[in-house]
Amino acid sequence: MPTVTIRVIGSYLSPYVRKVLACLEIKGIAYEIDPIVPFFGNDEFARLSPLRRIPVLIDGGTALSDSTVICEYLNEKYPQISLLPESPEARSRARWFEEYADSRLGEVFVWHFFNQLVIKKFVWGAAPDHTVLEKAQREEIPQILDYLEGVLPEVGFLFASLSIADIALASFFRNAAFVRFEVDATRWPRTAGYVSRVLATDGFMRIRQYEELCIRTALPEHRSALLAAGAPIAGTTLGTDTPRPGFFTV
């Protein structure tokens, strides 16, 4: 990879950060990462990300927040490998799937599921809301899978080649896997096969070891453990020792 010019701020465990990292890996763009959980961001982090959300991307004098904005920027500035289909019709469809992933899968897989089992416990020391968790498992996740089963391909990707739509959708299933959720391949075979194919692509596989290290390592030790494992860790951090609530602390 060429000389590092890009910094990503955000944890390897975030599906939104994963989406950006996968895009960078696929495009062959060198980067470094400040692997903070957003609740531990300092005042400078809050200035860069007013909603206190990750990822943030810094490219020279350009600082961006929101994973969709960042991925669009990367696709326009570094067009050597496009992550959007060619036709306007297909591009609009790809953007729809990205939005569906970020909004609906984010709401259910992150806030109603991963948040209940991981974030609440390890960031806030709180118990899960079992009503929210059970509704996600019983109603919301099956509804998502029923929809996807009707629109995902039996082979390959959503379009002719891997696109931002595939990257966005698969990123959330990775978080579900962290809490031992697997798509039932007998009920949703297309979805199960599709998720496996996308997560097996190079962009996801190159960051997989760092995700797995984070999920089994205590939060205060993430930075040092990742550095020891050879992750491209930034020399400075916007992280703090004490969490503070953000707009999406639920």
CA distance 126 to 143: 28
Domains and CATH numbers, the chain: 88-202 (1.20.1050.10)
User: Does residue 250 surpass a pLDDT of 60?
Assistant: no
Instruction: Give the per-residue pLDDT at 5.
Output: 82
| Residue 235: CB atoms within 10 Å | 7
Asked if residues 94 and 163 have their Cβ atoms less than 8 Å apart, the reply is yes
Asked if residues 174 and 204 have their Cβ atoms less than 8 Å apart, the reply is yes
| Residue 168: CB atoms within 10 Å | 30
pLDDT tens for 61-110 read 999 999 999 999 999 999 989 999 999 999 999 999 999 999 999 999 99
Beta-bridge mates of residue 34: 9
51 backbone φψ class: left, alpha, beta (φ>0; ψ -120 to 50): alpha
Split at pLDDT 50, 70, 90, the class of 243 is confident
CA distance 235 to 20: 20
> How far is Cα of residue 111 from the mean position of the Cα atoms in its chain?
13
Asked if residues 133 and 112 have their Cβ atoms less than 8 Å apart, the reply is yes
Asked if residues 176 and 113 have their Cβ atoms less than 8 Å apart, the reply is yes
CA distance 172 to 167: 9
pLDDT tens for 170-218 read 999 999 999 999 999 999 999 999 999 999 999 999 999 999 999 999 9
pTM, entire model: 0.94
